[in-house]
Structure 1
Amino acid sequence: MFSIIIAIVAIEIFYTPPIMPIVFIIIVTILADKSTYTKTGLIITGMAVLILSALAYYLFHDDPDYVQTYIDKNPDLASMHLSVDGENLISKQGEVKRPLASVVKTIIAIEFANQVVEGKIDPDEQIPLVELEKFYLANTDGGAHPNWLKEMKEGGPIKNDAVSLQEIAKGMIMFSSNANTDFLLDKLGPESINHVIESLGLENHDPVYPLVSSLLVPTYLNAIEDKKWSTSQLIERLQSLSLEDYRELSWEIHHLLKHRKADFFNGSVSIPMDLQKIWSDRLSNATVEDYGKVMSAISNDTATLPGGEDILRNIMEWPMKVNVSNQEIYAHLGMKGGSTAFVLNQALYVENLDGRKLELIIFTEGFSIIEQIKMEKNMNSFLKKVLTEHF
């Protein structure tokens, strides 16, 4: 019971992947059993330890080639784009639209920089934290928003329970706070943000719409249609909605949250995986070629209005500040990842000290549990390997 409690705390509070707490429970259960210490028990325990050790090694040892193998073997589930100095070196399923998850936040960051230049917003404007809390749903963002708040409180940017717009934008990119994202989506205006898609010539990019509110679409449907749908019925109902209707419902919920009128739920959200899959699939989609253009535009200072380049870089190039050693290798390094239970994406641009530039975009989806663990464990190693090979 003690090991189960620890495992639950690890998963729910510290967002530990379930596999390790489960292994911990198995080990404690074996060790707590008296029969373990008989001759037969010791043999069985030894075999179990060997099997678990082999599984742990397979799952967690550094294997950057696993990512490339997954991309190569799953063309229906993975896309990759690589450009160096303006030359496209790799385009695997480059025109296939896939869910962006948090990578879409890059578009919002671009419009943020534009509106600062235009004088429409003041990056130093202090925003009360309660305004952000309107768009926060506990346990739905992998701890992103709480981690950002913790950083802000420890670092000192929060004053009188308020924080600047600039820090909110940074938190959207570096920590990937969905609450910050939906607040900025409202603050900047969806029409202005979606104009960025047009201005950058992104031909296969869906409109940007709320991330948080769309999570509540099933709950909202139950309420407004006065139904008590089962999960299977909700799946059928959601699948009957066109994308346009689905997005409209998301905006309705967004405005209810904004004005604190979302009384159709009690603040607690528990979404079955089947419904999460629909949410994930219906997030804004685009292609790796689209985001090759986006990252290239940022790298070449053409993504924003004149004067917005440094503002945008200050938001996107957080890896240069978090890992100071990057400054010894790169002149610029900006990136935005995105993930759900079904998606793992990365989009980055790099300029080394010699002025060579690289853009790397990876969109992957459709994992089994083991594939997801392996992809998450090895993605950073794969990115480093690609950079090393081309720089």
Structure 2
Amino acid sequence: MYLYLWIVFAGLILLTAFPLISPKNRTKWKISQAIIVTCSVILAVFVIEFLQIPPFLPIIFVVIVSFLTDRSTYTKTGLIITGTVVILLGAGAYYLFHDDPDYVENYMEDHPDLASLHVSVDGETVISQQGEEKRPLASVVKTIIAIEFANQVAEGAIDPEEPISLSELDKFYLANTDGGAHPAWLEDMKANNKITNDQVTLHEVAKGMIQYSSNANTDFLLGKLGADSVNRVIETLELEQHDPVYPLVSALLASPYLNDQHDGNLSDRELEEMLLDMTMEEYRELVWEIHEKLNNDEADFFDESPSVSMDLQRIWSDRLPNASAEDYAKVMAAISNNTATIPGGEEILRELMEWPMEVHESNREKYAHLGAKGGSTAFVLNQALYAEDHNGKKVELIIFTEGFSFIEQIKMNQNMNSYMQKVLEEHF
């Protein structure tokens, strides 16, 4: 996923190690420099690939280590240069990571074609900015699957305590494609002793889909519950702009699958054209075909961690199920008002959606209920939530944003939670 970055890192290692070919350069300092820089690069690669840390901070770490191990840094000129670089890095880090909720608000005001905002208070719309525009939902769509899960538990169609083999979930897991969501959920299951004989309960699978946003759990549940049943939720809630729900993981494999069907001879540009030429109906059919191959262990057309270019990822992101902010205001209001499910499913659904109440004590102090589902790709950042204070006042807040540059994406991710808190405080 970071091919060019790995090439730069490899070049940095070679740059520090190459002088050691000459015996006269094999001083303790040069040898130590090569070892330390190599170790810093290995550490950076580890935290990026396995801990899913965004690459910006590891890159800064490697740059600083390289400066500190370079003997010329400790000359007068070197100290001036190093000091200047440190100041610039510090200023850049402050700009990127300091708390700035107004950044999100300004982005939405400056890019109305790329952002939707909807706020309802006690059933009345108080803010609607591009609320009717359809936008990619990313993981926010998992709310629809959670509603159908609660319905089927309530009607006795599924048993929430049914043991599910982790190997069944692994069929739909693609390494390094979900921001560490699925591995983080598995770690939580292990830490809380919720894995027995390599199995977890169906209820825990659903919780992992919502709280951790595991894509593997999502695609498993979509197959378990049935696509037709899940998509009937859209009709029942009268969501006028909502696309049909289909597998997320299998969609990411559309380009490797098509390439495999052409003996691996297609360029990225040719794959882009093939995908864009498909109607959404054809595209969804392709995705379901891939889903069945994953489910039947017939997916030998990709490596464990597929390499998908950013342009192909953008097509995947854009073609994820779309809906409007107004649609999800309806969804969140229905959950808040206990009308999203059949009778008996209300508490089941709340228990899934209201994970912020469980993990943050401050939320329990402020709210009687707080449920949320976010969603993001490299090009999308969304949030949908409902909240009710201890006096019974209710607010629904929906934010759909897209179209970022790399820096904008960092800033939006950094400040989205602060902005949501600011909006909630303004309406409670």
Question: Same fold by TM-score, threshold 0.5 exceeded?
Answer: yes
Alignment correspondent of 1:243: 280
Deviation of residue 3 (structure 1)?
Answer: 2.1
Alignment correspondent of 2:218: 181
* Correspondence list, 1:154-169, <5 A: 154-169=191-206
Contact residue 209 and residue 217 of structure 2 kept, 8 A:
yes
Q: Distance in 1 between matches of 2:400 and 2:224?
A: 28
What SS class does the counterpart of residue 58 from structure 1 fall into?
helix
Task: After superposition, give the CA deviation of every residue in 1:28-57 in whole Å (9 maximum; x if it has no partner).
Answer: 111122211111111111111111111111
Comparing 340-349 and 258-267, the one that deviates more: 258-267
Match of 2:398 among 361, 370, 375: 361
Alignment correspondent of 2:31: none
Deviation of residue 227 (structure 1)?
Answer: 4.5
Inter-CA distance 317–88: structure 2 relative to 1 (3 Å threshold): same
Q: Distance in 1 between matches of 2:86 and 2:304?
A: 43
Q: TM-score, normalised to structure 1's length? A: 0.98
Q: Distance in 2 between matches of 1:263 and 1:191?
A: 28
Alignment correspondent of 1:142: 179
Q: Distance in 2 between matches of 1:62 and 1:257?
A: 42
Over the aligned positions, Cα root-mean-square deviation in angstroms equals 1.0
Alignment correspondent of 2:77: 40
Alignment correspondent of 1:343: 380
Alignment correspondent of 1:24: 61
Alignment correspondent of 1:319: 356
Q: Distance in 2 between matches of 1:316 and 1:179?
A: 18
Deviation of residue 235 (structure 1)?
Answer: 1.2
Deviation of residue 357 (structure 1)?
Answer: 0.2
Q: Distance in 1 between matches of 2:166 and 2:426?
A: 44
2:123 corresponds to 1:86:
yes
* Correspondence list, 1:45-84, <5 A: 45-84=82-121
Alignment correspondent of 1:253: 290
* Correspondence list, 1:257-272, <5 A: 257-272=294-309
Task: After superposition, give the CA deviation of every residue in 1:149-170 in whole Å (9 maximum; x if it has no partner).
Answer: 1111111221111111111111
Task: Name the amino acid aligned to 1:357.
Answer: K
Task: After superposition, give the CA deviation of every residue in 1:320-372 in whole Å (9 maximum; x if it has no partner).
Answer: 11112211111000000000111110000000001000000001111111100
Contact residue 332 and residue 385 of structure 2 kept, 8 A:
yes
Q: Distance in 1 between matches of 2:307 and 2:261?
A: 19
Q: TM-score, normalised to structure 2's length? A: 0.90
What SS class does the counterpart of residue 336 from structure 1 fall into?
strand
Match of 2:257 among 200, 205, 220: 220
Q: Distance in 1 between matches of 2:425 and 2:76?
A: 51
The count of aligned residue pairs is 391
Alignment correspondent of 2:3: none
- Gaps in structure 2 of 5+ consecutive residues: 1-37
- Gaps in structure 1 of 5+ consecutive residues: none
Q: Distance in 2 between matches of 1:257 and 1:275?
A: 20
Alignment correspondent of 1:273: 310
